[in-house]
Amino acid sequence: MRVLITGGAGFLGATLANRLVSQGHQVRVLDDLSAGDRERLDRRVAFTRGDTRDIPKLWTLLRGVDCVYHLAARVSVAESVLYPVEYNAVNVGGTVALMTAVRDAQVKRVVLASSGAVYGEQPRQPVSEDAPPHPQTPYAVSKLAAEQYVLAIGALWGIETVILRVFNAYGPGQPLPPAHAPVIPQLLKQALSGGSLVVFGSGEQTRDFVYVSDVADALQAAGTAAGIDRSLINIGSGVEVSINQLVRLVGEVTGRDLHILQSKSESGGVSRLVADLQLAREKLGFRPRVTLEEGLRRTLSEDPQFAR
């Protein structure tokens, strides 16, 4: 196949790009490098620096492309609360621009990496794709809006569209910015440095953590699977883990005695969130293979930022 991956120098994008190019596919990547790193990419990947809102540049990159993986987005929930305008501009505006260019270039299929965050607080767990979304942050709103634009424009112009609602992805290469860092690399770094691990809320709130290679499996399958046009599909581990359980596991895999601080004055987010994977199994043959403990150990051993 010939594919374009937006955000392809990022955490998920680079994993997917390197896998596809190693299998003989022609892979083009568009990334503005605001969070990506070109050095992550195999030399056989054709890299272009740019913005997904640059429609003329997209026209050039989309020539002859069979499938677009749209992964370019700003992804911090906490940061989106502070900068909702920017999140709307990139996550929604970038998606609309991409779909416009895809329409013009007559690309057959688009796969959007959305987020389990669109569900918000849900009374029934595991949460299935037919649950009504209740986005509670600007990030979640922006991803839900992006989904609707992809589905609507795809239906209007005969473009096959697939939405993957990815839950909490983690693994080697996940960025650790100084502010608003993702929970797993943040906890690992704090444990290794001897710092205090901060747990927001009670720590009993639960999440579904899915390893990066499992997400890449799902993305790859979504690019070629038959009969999945206009599908919304959860991608997670299907295992519900509390933040307190995660902290204990981080202590075990790092071999460190942890100093834990609880910040009950700040919300820990929704109380429970775990993915129902029945649809992913049926439509994509998706079965997550990496347990949380194994994924944490791989992250520690394979990611240079955790070198000990």
Which residues are known catalytic residues?
139
With contact defined as beta carbons under 8 Å apart, do 233 and 285 qualify?
A: no
Q: Cβ distance 237 to 292 under 8 Å?
A: yes
Backbone angles phi, psi at 69, to 5 degrees: -100, 115
In whole angstroms, give the CA distance from residue 184 to residue 145.
27
Contacting residues for 249 by C-beta, under 8 A, at least 6 apart? 241, 292, 293, 296
- Of 247, 75, 296, 255, nearest in space to 167 by CA: 75
What is the spatial distance between Cα 168 and Cα 235, in angstroms, rounded to a whole number? Answer: 9
- To which residue do tokens 């460190």 refer? 256
Whats the size of the chain, residue-wise?
308
Instruction: Return phi, psi of residue 166, to 5°.
Output: -85, 130
3-state secondary structure of 12: helix
Question: What secondary structure does DSSP assign to 184-231, as a single string?
Answer: HHHHHHHHHHT-EEEEETTS--EE-EEEHHHHHHHHHHHTT-SS-TTE
**Single-letter residue type at 300:** L
Spatial contact of 1 and 223, defined as CB atoms under 8 Å apart: yes
